[in-house]
């Protein structure tokens, strides 16, 4: 009996260490809404370091016949990502182009949405990788997984207004160095436009 208990405790410890290791934060950002979208239909964002002191990325939007998000590296003054399509009018058709620093090339991808009762499932195909994001009602945290193997890559959580004032603010945590930051920042903005922005208009 004691041996079984010790074995159980050992396996539990190994599992806990493995889970902790797989969810070690590699990079973290605070992504703030620049201003409520009164004069423009979509929200711009700025990504700061975890101390909310230094600007790291800018997400700038336009909305004409199609919606567009352009992602800039603020320090390098260069564009590193772009998303365009429709995602705010009941239609979801999104294409992305993201600069991959490992290959020094721009890589195209697509983002799709499956709606179900009280939840959304977003799927992102990019650079021969399939990422999945599930957004459930009454949940502030959205986790981003690699579909195969099933691995947690990042998560973003929006803060309640009593913590952040009148603007939306997200805590983005990234657990991997395999993907560029753009692969997480662009979907964050798209999910916000598709869900929070539409809720605010109701």
Greatest Cα pair distance in the chain: 69
Q: Residue 178 to residues 73, 85, 119, 174: CA-CA distances in angstroms?
A: 18, 26, 28, 10
Instruction: Give the domain ranges of the chain.
Output: 25-201
- Phi/psi of residue 147, each to 5°? -65, -40
CB 133 within 8 A of CB 143: yes
What confidence tens digit (pLDDT) does each residue in 90-144 have? Answer: 889 999 999 999 999 999 999 999 988 888 999 999 999 999 998 887 788 999 9
In the predicted structure, residue 21 carries a pLDDT above the cut 80? no
What confidence tens digit (pLDDT) does each residue in 182-196 have? Answer: 999 999 999 999 887
pTM check: above 0.95: no
């Amino acid at each position: 009996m004691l041996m079984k208990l010790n074995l159980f405790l050992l396996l539990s410890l190994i599992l806990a260490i493995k889970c902790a290791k797989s969810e070690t934060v590699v990079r973290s950002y605070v992504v703030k809404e620049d201003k409520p979208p009164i004069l423009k239909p979509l929200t711009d964002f700025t990504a700061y370091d975890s101390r909310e002191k230094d600007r790291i990325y800018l997400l700038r939007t336009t909305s004409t016949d199609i919606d567009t998000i352009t992602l800039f590296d603020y320090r390098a003054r260069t564009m590193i990502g772009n998303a365009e399509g429709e995602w705010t009018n009941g239609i979801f058709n999104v294409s992305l182009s993201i600069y991959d620093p490992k290959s020094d090339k721009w890589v195209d991808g697509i983002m799709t949405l499956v709606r179900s009762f009280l939840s959304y499932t977003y799927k992102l195909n990019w650079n021969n990788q399939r990422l999945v994001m599930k957004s459930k009602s009454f949940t502030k945290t959205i986790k981003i997984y690699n579909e195969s193997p099933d691995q947690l890559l990042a998560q973003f959580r929006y803060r309640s207004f009593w913590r952040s004032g009148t603007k939306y603010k997200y805590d983005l945590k990234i657990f991997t160095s395999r993907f560029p930051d753009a692969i997480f920042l662009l979907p964050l903005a798209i999910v916000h436009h598709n869900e929070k922005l539409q809720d605010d208009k109701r």
